[in-house]
Structure formats: C-alpha cells, structure tokens
Amino acid sequence: METGGIINGYSATLDYQNLGYELTVITEIIVSKGKLLDVEKEIAKIQNVCAVYDATGATDAIAIAKFKNRKTLSEFTKTVLSLPFVERTNTHVVLTIVKEDYKLL
C-alpha cells in the first residue's frame, strides 16, 4: 500500500485542546481575478491552518484553522484579509466539536 500511494505516511493523533488550542474556526474566503490557487497556497503556509479547500457555492475557498486565543485568531484573519486578491472573509467559530476525525476507514 505504501508503494501504491495509498499510505502516504504515518503520524500521531494529537488532542489539540489538551495542547491549548481552544478555538477552531472555519473561514470562508472570496477571491478575485482568478487568483484562487495562489491565495490558497499562501493560506496553506500559515502555521495554524489545518486544511484549505476549493469550494462550490457563495465562497471560493474554505480554511480550517486552530488557535490558542482570540489574539492569534485576529492576527490570522487580518493576515488573510491583507493577501492580494482576497476580497472578503467570513469566519465561523466552532462552539462544540462533535466529531473531528479525517480517517475514513
């Protein structure tokens, strides 16, 4: 399965709340002028970002990120908004994590 590309690596499963990451956010991002992939690549480089997705619907991209406090969330939001071609963001703060597991099998 490793040589066939099914297993890409191995990692530990961390409990981010026990590490002090109290905030999980879902940020919707609107991007202009066909620069979606460029913007997504920049957002993916930000340390707190767990996932970046192209999306259909009213937004162009969605980022999932975790933060220890409101200050670092605020800095993230301002960083994303300052990126060229980012028109607008809409950030949702997760209140309760019911399930967070990216393993399908």
The residue range of the domain holding 34 is 23-93
Quote the tokens at residue 102.
């990216």
Tell me: pLDDT of 90 over 80: yes
In a domain, 17, yes or no: no
Residue-averaged pLDDT of the chain: 94
Tell me: pLDDT of 104 over 80: no
In a domain, 6, yes or no: no
Strand partners, 64: 26, 51
Tell me: pLDDT of 105 over 80: no
Strand partners, 67: 23
Instruction: Note the pTM of the prediction, 2 decimals.
Output: 0.89
In a domain, 89, yes or no: yes
**What are the pLDDT digits (tens) for 18-67?**
999 999 999 999 999 999 999 999 999 999 999 999 999 999 999 999 99
